[in-house]
Each structure stands twice: as structure tokens, then as C-alpha cells.
């Protein structure tokens, strides 16, 4: 009888439902026969008989779903639509999709302090531990409660347990006890979490940018029915940079376990904390005799904050500067992907999704005609500045004009500096939503200095292939994007050797130039058509005769206002 509680409550306690039943033809027809009201209202005998005869119907009753007359009730339909969502709406934590029993019929319990859901991570390189533990307190529409726990090695589904709880208080007690056992912290104090040695670390995950399956289906429907107002070339560009498969591919290449945390899901504070840990590793490595135990402990901490997939192998100790550089680059790209996820979330889903995403970027994009003078200048720039050491070829597919209002406003002040050059900047395809919407950003003070040859700044090149290397194109995926920035260099501080400690160039300099042994002939620089104060270093390559540790020039500015994005090139690579 308890399994029919939902239906009985609807009949006896919900006037809306009762009105609908009284209005329904089925009820009226059955009432004339003197059967339904007696069977369904007084003792629900009819539904009990039907449930015993039909296993499918019985399963539906047990899950709190209604058949026959209930499906004809408007009140029921409204409720049922809410229960169909496979994941809670934006801003809520989705139910773990591995919980097959309740994934579609329950939701994560929320209290005034937030969602009752945790993701824990623990890495111990010495013991080859790279494991997770996740927990959720689940409830359905009938106020039934469960505790769902899943644990195992990162990258695997692992083991799981679903505990049926008789009340909310029992569910909370079970949930809190497990969190304390695994993390050494009380659930009520999770917002001030303190890592405990030998226990799991809490991953602070932001689910606010995730869209549920209903949203995704809605977007697909709108894509088919609502025509875009944009130029087809711009539509193709927007669809490409917002493609989640591209974002996921980049994460896989970085060994980041995106299946464990939602795309862009780690909060910025967690990424910053991981950056601080890398800075500590860097400091240790600069000592004459680095402490191996300290490096091991710091590596464990880093991997615990930033989940990595390693298969069954132990994660490597971060004990080389090149690894610090690689991991810091990874953190920078995670931040950009987080921005991309937010832009996707902020898009207006009431219009064509591509048009909405384009607006969310906050950049004006237009296709540059192939017969325009500037296009021909850029074509020449690409042809003349491909380094001989880069054994691939680049073809221009398209060139777009860009106008980012924030860049334009900042550049008004620094644009008065002399020596403007149109310079290249390359990055992964997955980073372009973040770059276009937020602009280029200088690494924060807490980040390691390793990897920045001339300190933390914005880096540009006058050789197209030097910047193209940062696009990470491949034979399997031979397409990428390059930016052309107008950079106000002013007086350049010319250096032959790297210096990672530079914060800004000394007076009277405004930028740093790392001198290369090969460079475009500066005497062949030509002014950009329509912008005569900016020059394009598109001359043929020459040997500079400079004894430098750099093969090609690098240009660095230490203020984000000294550059503005001008053009975006769609390129293809081939051997």
C-alpha cells in the first residue's frame, strides 16, 4: 500500500488532481458504472490489481510515476515534466550518471548551505594511489532519501553503494559520517576545509556553468529551426571554437581527467592553489640540493587538487623545471576553458545558439575579403616569415577582422607610444573562447616564473611559424587559429639572454625584445593599409648576425593595455 502512496495522496489531498480526475472522461465513464471511485479512492483496489497483472505498471508505481488517468491530469503532466530532466537545472549539482537506479528520478538534496554532494581526491605517488571518493544525498519528489557513494581509481567507474534511508535525518547522518571518515573534516565546516594527512582532499567544484540534457536538446532544436543572422563564415568559426569535443581533446592531451570534474568545473581558487604549489616546487628545484621528500609531498598535493589520469601507472614526481612549465601551462589553459564554459552558460538560449554565443564573446567579427589590400599584406606576412626550422607548411583559409571594445579603450592610452608592430600570437583552439572574450592576460604573481624567458608578460612573434607551434595542430587535426595583435612597443629593451625575473623593463623602456639570429628584414617593414602608424614586419628573412640564445625574435609587453587584437587567421597545416 505504501507504493501507491503518491497516487492516494494525489486523490485525497490534491484538489487540482481531484478536479482533473472528476473532469476526465475516463473517470466519468467509470463513475457511471459505479466502479472507479470505490476502487481508486476508497481502497485503490483497481490499481493494485493492475499493478499485480502488469510488471511494467508496477515498476512505474514504485518509481512514483502515474499511469492511465494520472497521465490525463494536467497537474500530473506539469509535475512529470519536471521529473523527466536527467540532470538538475543550471546552478544545481547533477546526479552522478553512474547511479542508474535514480539518475532520472531524483535530484541532489540542497539546503541553505548548498548542495549535499562532494568529490574527494587522494594521491600518494609512493603507494601508486590515485583515487577518488564521491558522495551525494539524493531525494525524489515523494521525499524518499538515499545516500550514494562511489569510489575507485581516477579514470575508472569504480565501486559504488546506494543506501536507502528512512528519513532525511538518517540520510544526513550517514552522509556526514562518511565525509568525516574519508576527509577528516566535518561536513558543516567544509567551506573552511583543511587537508588532513593520509585523508582525501575536497575538490571545490563549480557546477554553475553546466547545462542539463533538456537545455542541450533545446539548443539542438533551435539550431534546426531558428536561422542565424550571422555571416556563414562567422557561424562556422563560432561553432568551431565552442565545440566541446575540442575542449575535451585538449584536456585529454594534458592528461587532465575531465570525466571526473565537469568541463571548466574546478573553481578558480582551486586552480590558483595548484599554481601556488607549483611555485613551491619551483623554489625547491632552484636549491642546490632539492629535498626529495618535499618534492614528493608537493607533487601529491598538486595531483590531488588537479585530477590526472595515469592508467594503472604511478603519477610522476614533479622534479624538473620543464614539468613545472608544462603543468603551469595546463593551469592557464584550464582557466581559459573555465571562461569558455561560463560564456556557454551565459548565452541566451531563447535565440539561435550560435548567435547567442557570438554575442556572449563580446567581440565584433567580420570576414576580411580575399581581394582586400590588408588580406594581401597578411598573405605576404605568412609567406615570408615561415622559419626554415619548422618543417611544415601553412595555408590561410580565412582572415577575420576583430574589434574588442575593452582592448580599444585601454589601447587609447598606450597607443600613443611609438613603434607599433602587427605581431603573431598562437594558442590551442580550445583557448580561443577565453582569449576572445577576456583578452590576453598576464600570469598572476603567485604563478611560477619558470617558462617565461623574459618574465611574466604577453609574448608575441614576428615569425608566423614560431607562433603557429603553440597551436598544437597535428596530421589528425591540421587546422588552427592565429591572432594578429597591434602591439605598442615604444622603446624596446633588447636582450640576447633570457631573464625570468623581469617584472617590467627599466626606464626608459616600454617593452622587451629577445633578439633572434633570424628575423624579417626590418628595412622591408610596411605600414598596414588603413592604419599607417602600425607596421607589418613582413620582409624576407635575414641572418641578423647577433650572437643570441634565441633563434627568432620575441616581443614582450608587461601591461595588457599595450596591445589590441586586430585579426584572426584560420590556418591549415600540411607536411
CA distances from 134 to 29, 174, 181, 193, 350 (A): 52, 14, 13, 16, 35
Instruction: Give the model confidence (pLDDT) of 525-551 as tens digits.
Output: 999 999 999 999 999 999 999 999 999
Q: In what order do the strands lie in the sheet with 563-574?
A: 363-367, 393-404, 563-574, 479-488, 420-426, 531-536, 526-528
* Catalytically active residues, by annotation: 554
Instruction: Give the model confidence (pLDDT) of 84-137 as tens digits.
Output: 333 344 456 889 999 999 988 999 999 998 999 999 999 999 999 999 999 999
How large is the average pLDDT for residues 3-11?
A: 46
Least confident of 228-242, 345-359, 495-509: 345-359
**Regarding the domain with residue range 213-357, which homologous superfamily does it belong to in the CATH classification?**
Poly(ADP-ribose) polymerase, regulatory domain (1.20.142.10)
Answer whether 176's CB lies under 8 Å from 137's CB.
no
Whether residue 225 has pLDDT greater than 70: no
What pLDDT does 349 receive?
65
CATH architecture of 363-574: Alpha-Beta Complex (3.90)
CATH topology identical between 213-357 and 363-574:
no
How large is the average pLDDT for residues 437-451?
A: 86
How large is the average pLDDT for residues 190-217?
A: 72
What pLDDT does 329 receive?
87
Least confident of 192-201, 206-215, 398-407: 206-215
Higher pLDDT, 555 or 256: 555
Answer whether 489's CB lies under 8 Å from 525's CB.
no
Give residue limits of the domains in the chain. Answer: 2-84, 107-202, 213-357, 363-574
How large is the average pLDDT for residues 435-442?
A: 94
Q: Give the containing element (helix H, strand E) for 246.
A: helix 244-253
What pLDDT does 547 receive?
94
Answer whether 481's CB lies under 8 Å from 467's CB.
no
Instruction: Give the model confidence (pLDDT) of 461-483 as tens digits.
Output: 999 999 999 998 888 889 999 99
CA distances from 373 to 365, 419, 528 (A): 18, 22, 9
Whether residue 381 has pLDDT greater than 50: yes
Amino acid at each position: 500500500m505504501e507504493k501507491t502512496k503518491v497516487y492516494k495522496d494525489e486523490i485525497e489531498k490534491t484538489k487540482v488532481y481531484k478536479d482533473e480526475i472528476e473532469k476526465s472522461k475516463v473517470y466519468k465513464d467509470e463513475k457511471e458504472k459505479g466502479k472507479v471511485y470505490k476502487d481508486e479512492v476508497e481502497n485503490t483496489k483497481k490499481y493494485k490489481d493492475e499493478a499485480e497483472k502488469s510488471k511494467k505498471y508496477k515498476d512505474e508505481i514504485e518509481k512514483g510515476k502515474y499511469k492511465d488517468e494520472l497521465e490525463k491530469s494536467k497537474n500530473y503532466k506539469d509535475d512529470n515534466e519536471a521529473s523527466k530532466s536527467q540532470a538538475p537545472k543550471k546552478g544545481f549539482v547533477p546526479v552522478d550518471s553512474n547511479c542508474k537506479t535514480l539518475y532520472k528520478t531524483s535530484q541532489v538534496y540542497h539546503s541553505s548551505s548548498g548542495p549535499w554532494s562532494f568529490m574527494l581526491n587522494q594521491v600518494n605517488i609512493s603507494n601508486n594511489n590515485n583515487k577518488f571518493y564521491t558522495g551525494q544525498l539524493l531525494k525524489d519528489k515523494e521525499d524518499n532519501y538515499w545516500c550514494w557513494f562511489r569510489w575507485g581509481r581516477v579514470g575508472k567507474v569504480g565501486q559504488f553503494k546506494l543506501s536507502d534511508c528512512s528519513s532525511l535525518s538518517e540520510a544526513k547522518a550517514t552522509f556526514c559520517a562518511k565525509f568525516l571518515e574519508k576527509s577528516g573534516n566535518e561536513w558543516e565546516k567544509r567551506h573552511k576545509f583543511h587537508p588532513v594527512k593520509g585523508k582525501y582532499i575536497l575538490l571545490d567544484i563549480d557546477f554553475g556553468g553546466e547545462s542539463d540534457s533538456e537545455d542541450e536538446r533545446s539548443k539542438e532544436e533551435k539550431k534546426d529551426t531558428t536561422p542565424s543572422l550571422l555571416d556563414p563564415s562567422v557561424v562556422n568559426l563560432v561553432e568551431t571554437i565552442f565545440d566541446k569535443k575540442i575542449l575535451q581533446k585538449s584536456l585529454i592531451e594534458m592528461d587532465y581527467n575531465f570525466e571526473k570534474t565537469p568541463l571548466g568545473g574546478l573553481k578558480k581558487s582551486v586552480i590558483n592553489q595548484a599554481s601556488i604549489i607549483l611555485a613551491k616546487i619551483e623554489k625547491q628545484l632552484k636549491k642546490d640540493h632539492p629535498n626529495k621528500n618535499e618534492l614528493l609531498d608537493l607533487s601529491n598535493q598538486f595531483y590531488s587538487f588537479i585530477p590526472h589520469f595515469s592508467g594503472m601507472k604511478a603519477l610522476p614526481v614533479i622534479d624538473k623545471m620543464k614539468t613545472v612549465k608544462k603543468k603551469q601551462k595546463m593551469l592557464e589553459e584550464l582557466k581559459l576553458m573555465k571562461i569558455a564554459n561560463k560564456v556557454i552558460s551565459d548565452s541566451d538560449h531563447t535565440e539561435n545558439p550560435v548567435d547567442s554565443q557570438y554575442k556572449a564573446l563580446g567581440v565584433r567579427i567580420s570576414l576580411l575579403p580575399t581581394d582586400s589590400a590588408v588580406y594581401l599584406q597578411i598573405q605576404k606576412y605568412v609567406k615570408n616569415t615561415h622559419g626554415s626550422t619548422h618543417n611544415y607548411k601553412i595555408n590561410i583559409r580565412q582572415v577575420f577582422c576583430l574589434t574588442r571594445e575593452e582592448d580599444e579603450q585601454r589601447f587609447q592610452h598606450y597607443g600613443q607610444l611609438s613603434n607599433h608592430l602587427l605581431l603573431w600570437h598562437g594558442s590551442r583552439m580550445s583557448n580561443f573562447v577565453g582569449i576572445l572574450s577576456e583578452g590576453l592576460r598576464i600570469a598572476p604573481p603567485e604563478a611560477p616564473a619558470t617558462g617565461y624567458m623574459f618574465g611574466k608578460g604577453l609574448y608575441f612573434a614576428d615569425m608566423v611559424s614560431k607562433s603557429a607551434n603553440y597551436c598544437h595542430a597535428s596530421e589528425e587535426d591540421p587546422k588552427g587559429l592565429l591572432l594578429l595583435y597591434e602591439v605598442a612597443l615604444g622603446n624596446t629593451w633588447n636582450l640576447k639572454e633570457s631573464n625570468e625575473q623581469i617584472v617590467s623593463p627599466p626606464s626608459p623602456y616600454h617593452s622587451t625584445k629577445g633578439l633572434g639570429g633570424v628575423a624579417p628584414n626590418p628595412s622591408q617593414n610596411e605600414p598596414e593599409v588603413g592604419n599607417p602608424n602600425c607596421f607589418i614586419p613582413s620582409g624576407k628573412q635575414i641572418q641578423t648576425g647577433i650572437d643570441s640564445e634565441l633563434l627568432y625574435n620575441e616581443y614582450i609587453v608587461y601591461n595588457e593595455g599595450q596591445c589590441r587584437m586586430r585579426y584572426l587567421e584560420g590556418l591549415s597545416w600540411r607536411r
